Structure 1
Amino acid sequence: MKSAVETLNPTRVRLTVEVPFEELKDSLDAAYKKINQQVTVPGFRKGKIPARVIDQRFGRGAVLEEAVNDALPKLYQSAVEEGELTPLGQPEVDITDLKDNELLSFTAEVDIRPEIEIPDYSGIEVTVEATEVSDEDIDKSVEQLRERFASTSVVERAAAEGDVVKVDLEAKVDGEVLEDGVAQGVDYTIGSGELLEGIDAAVTGLEAGGSATFTSELKGGSAAGSEAEVKVDVQTVSARELPELDDDFAQLASEFDTLEELRGDSRKRLETSKKYEQATEAQEKVLDALIELVEVPVPEKLLADEINTRKHNLVNHQLAQMGLDLAAYLRMQEKTEEEFDAELKEQAEKGIRTQFVLDELVNKEKLNVSQEELTEHLMRRAQSSGMSPDQFAQAIVEGGQVPMLVGEVARGKALAVVVEAATVKDTNGDVVDLEDDEDETGETVDAESTEEPAEAAAEGKADEKADAKADDAEKADKS
């Protein structure tokens, strides 16, 4: 077999392959055997029909077609290996010549991973938010805890901000009550913003038994995005009473004996949370800076497939679960379809570039993934998917997605190498040490233990975890 590689552009090649006919012998034998099992010829036992009879009765062309279809995948793979190519996706094959007992010629066009030069990244410098925790931050944290222990009591007066009202709701669109537009006995805290826009003004000033009507855009349900006329009936008005901020509250709301101890614990938790956020911000900014340094051509077909996959996930999984369609979603986001498509393309391009660059870094730095690292990553992914570790592991193995998970861990380690080499400063101008910070569970919060930014960019997972298994498998096939 002879093969030649023609570079069409940095991400696409054409293979030209010539195969002597004798190399098709095994495929021809397999073709005759297969046809033998499928047809019946009077005077011959099934499976014992001579090749010349099959040629006479069904045509040599049918045999050649079957043999070529059998041989092409193996011949193509051999040409790929000979050319030392890394193909992406399926090739477009065209048989250019087929001469019986002489020669088979074909071409195969396929996208390939582009060759990438990783420049010196040690000069990357990024700025992240400082992790200072103010007294106001602690006050807010303790106040949120206090809100959770608030009690309510029914009052005989008009509703005011901060009160809890029990209401019945009825939504109409074009004068018709929606089937899913009726709700009864809903508890709502005035001013919380947790229900429909306009409800705060409607119920403020109403007493038990009072009613009001207001107009609001529906955020979910069968008429999401539509303007609705909403009637609200107030059943009861309750005042919220907050506990006193003292040692008794500390003992009620926590394991601490004094309010001072509770505030000290709040400070520690806030510091840990901000350090984690700081580490994540550093990863994202370092990754963006790295991508800016590298010229990465993107295969057009791979980009189109990635865009379609992301759009499919959004429309058929995320929005469908919320009872929304794309048009309603765009109205809520106040975007045109053109703006949405442009953003989706930008995200997909960034994801592909990120994966290519980090994969190249994995090779350059000769990074390996240990069984322990893979297991830890699997546990985190299982937790985010809502499945048990055993269920998630079974789904990964059955779907042939183990290489995908290994790739995610390796890319996370590659990003960690770059973050470690970069200079990270906070907004106070101080150099940030991202290693050995511990979160409240005792796990280190460093670049290596938090691969999410790399995964989200490279795989588009951040918004697609609800139904990722099938799409992950599809991506693994592509890369």
Structure 2
Amino acid sequence: MKSAVETLGPTRAKLTVEVPFEELKPSLDKAYRTIAQQINVPGFRRGKVPPMVIDRQVGRETVLQEAINEVVPQKYAEALQSHDLQPLAQPEVEVTRIDDNEAIEFTAEVDVRPEITVPDWHGLAAEVDDLAVTDDDVDEQVEALRERFGTLRDVERAATDGDFVTIDLVATRDGEPVEGAEVTGMSYRVGRGGMLEGLDEALAGMSAGEDTTFSSQLVGGDLVGQDVDVQVRVTKVAEQELPELDDEFAQLASEFDTAEELSADVRTRLGNGKRLEQAAAARDAVLEKLLEQVEVPLPESVVADELTERRRGVEQQLVYAGITLEKYLEDEGQTQEEFEADLDRRVRDAVAAQFVLDKVADQLELGVDQQELIEHMTRRAQQSGQDPQEFANHMFEHNHVPELVAEIRRGKALAQIVESASVTDTSGNVVDLAHLRPDGTLGEPEGDSGGDSGGDSEARPESDAEGEPAQV
């Protein structure tokens, strides 16, 4: 086999491959055997039809095409390896020459991984916001805890924000009920939002036994985004009574004896959570600094595919949140064009980050062991709400394991980049990332007797190899 490569662009290559007929012959013989099993020819048993008879019955061209269909993928893979090309998508293949008993030739155009040079990433400097837990943050968490232990008491008055109402609801379009848009006896908290636009405004001021109709748009089903009339009837109004924040409540709701100890623990937990958020911000800031120093050509087909996936993710999140894209854009103060431009920027940054982190992982010769793969699949399953075993089976069955391995390697590469960086907060304090534990606490520095270094890869902030889903 002879092959040549032509560079069509930084991320596009064209392979020209010539296959001598002797290398095609095994596939040709197999094609004859396959066709012999498929046809009936008087005087010959099935599977015993000679090649010359098959040529007369179905045509030599048909047999050649069968053989070519098998050999082209094999020779394409060999040519990729020979020229050290890493494809990013399926190739566009064209058979350009068939000389029977001599050779065949085909071309394959494909998007390939760009050649990039990553500068020295040690000691990158980045800044993140200060880690701060305010009294309001603590009060909000304590209030949420009190609400978990709150009780409901029926009231004979109009509903206001924060009240719990029991409602019957039906949506109609042109006077006909909309299938799947009818509920009875549903409990709903006024002011919570996230169900139907206009529902909270309609419920405010309504008493038990009253009903009203308002216009809204459905956020799911076949009529998503279309105007409907919604009739809602209130059957009960209840207000929530919260327990006093005292020592008795602390003992009821936690392992602490006093309300002061409970509040202190809430503050500590919030601090740990904010430390993890700060670490994630540091990861993003360091990666952004690195990307600013690298020129990364991007294959448009890869960007387009990723944009499609991101849009689908946005649509799903909006459906779960119970709002339309138009409502989301209105709340965010964005136009459709601004939203698309922001999504395109995020995708391009994510794709560029993948290429850069892959390069760093190669330079560091990072590997992935079985335990790391299992833990990564378990986390991915938990994040998507799936059973870990079912998720793992799906990944293996659909050959997605190489993608997961790439994600892990990128995460490990970014962890090393971040750990070597100099990260400070806006007040100038050094942000300790090397000893950050998964729960947001800090381990002891290396060298302290009996201390946990906290410096293993599990304690470092991970990179999502696919880029973070677009947040809505």
* Distance in structure 2 (CA, Å) of the matches to 1:82 and 1:378: 33
Q: State the match for 2:469 in structure 1.
A: 462
* Distance in structure 2 (CA, Å) of the matches to 1:37 and 1:211: 73
Structure 1 regions of 5+ residues with no counterpart?
Answer: 465-479
User: Residues 189-204 of structure 1 correspond to what in structure 2 (within 5 A)?
Assistant: 189-193=189-193, 196-204=196-204
1:76 pairs with 2:76: yes
1:253-278 deviation line (CA, Å, top 9, x unaligned) = 21211111111211111111111111
* Distance in structure 2 (CA, Å) of the matches to 1:112 and 1:26: 30
User: Residues 77-476 of structure 1 correspond to what in structure 2 (within 5 A)?
Assistant: 77-173=77-173, 176-193=176-193, 196-220=196-220, 223-312=223-312, 328-330=324-326, 332-334=328-330, 341-438=340-437, 440=439, 448-449=457-458, 454-455=463-464, 458-459=465-466, 462=469
Asked whether the 8 Å contact 1:225–1:331 carries over to 2, the reply is no
Secondary structure of 2:235's counterpart equals strand
TM-score normalised per structure 1 = 0.84
1:104-160 deviation line (CA, Å, top 9, x unaligned) = 222221211111110122353222222222333322322221222222322334444
Displacement of 1:163 after TM fit? 3.5
* Distance in structure 2 (CA, Å) of the matches to 1:371 and 1:229: 55
Q: State the match for 1:467 in structure 2.
A: none
Displacement of 1:402 after TM fit? 2.1
Quickly say closer, same or farther: Cα 1:80–1:175, change in 2 above 3 A: same
Asked whether the 8 Å contact 1:415–1:447 carries over to 2, the reply is no
Aligned length: 458
| % same residue | 49
Which of 373-382 and 109-118 deviates more?
373-382
Which of 424-433 and 206-215 deviates more?
206-215
Quickly say closer, same or farther: Cα 1:12–1:201, change in 2 above 3 A: closer
Q: State the match for 2:448 in structure 1.
A: none
TM-score normalised per structure 2 = 0.85
Q: Give, as a single letter, the amino acid of the residue that structure 2 aligns with 1:454.
A: S
Secondary structure of 2:248's counterpart equals helix
* Distance in structure 2 (CA, Å) of the matches to 1:107 and 1:344: 35
Asked whether the 8 Å contact 2:438–2:458 carries over to 1, the reply is no
1:36-90 deviation line (CA, Å, top 9, x unaligned) = 2223333333333333333344433333323322322222222222212112222
* Distance in structure 2 (CA, Å) of the matches to 1:293 and 1:447: 27
Quickly say closer, same or farther: Cα 1:122–1:171, change in 2 above 3 A: same
Q: Give, as a single letter, the amino acid of the residue that structure 2 aligns with 1:248.
A: E
Quickly say closer, same or farther: Cα 1:56–1:243, change in 2 above 3 A: closer
Asked whether the 8 Å contact 1:221–1:322 carries over to 2, the reply is no
Quickly say closer, same or farther: Cα 1:350–1:168, change in 2 above 3 A: same
Q: State the match for 1:477 in structure 2.
A: none
Quickly say closer, same or farther: Cα 1:226–1:23, change in 2 above 3 A: closer
Displacement of 1:216 after TM fit? 4.5
Q: Give, as a single letter, the amino acid of the residue that structure 2 aligns with 1:237.
A: V
* Distance in structure 2 (CA, Å) of the matches to 1:56 and 1:283: 67
Displacement of 1:367 after TM fit? 1.0
Secondary structure of 1:15's counterpart equals strand
Q: Give, as a single letter, the amino acid of the residue that structure 2 aligns with 1:333.
A: L
* Distance in structure 1 (CA, Å) of the matches to 2:46 and 2:177: 69
Higher helix share: 1
* Distance in structure 1 (CA, Å) of the matches to 2:26 and 2:377: 43
Which of 402-411 and 154-163 deviates more?
154-163
* Distance in structure 2 (CA, Å) of the matches to 1:296 and 1:264: 48
Displacement of 1:418 after TM fit? 1.2
Displacement of 1:384 after TM fit? 1.7
Quickly say closer, same or farther: Cα 1:101–1:434, change in 2 above 3 A: same
* Distance in structure 1 (CA, Å) of the matches to 2:142 and 2:407: 38
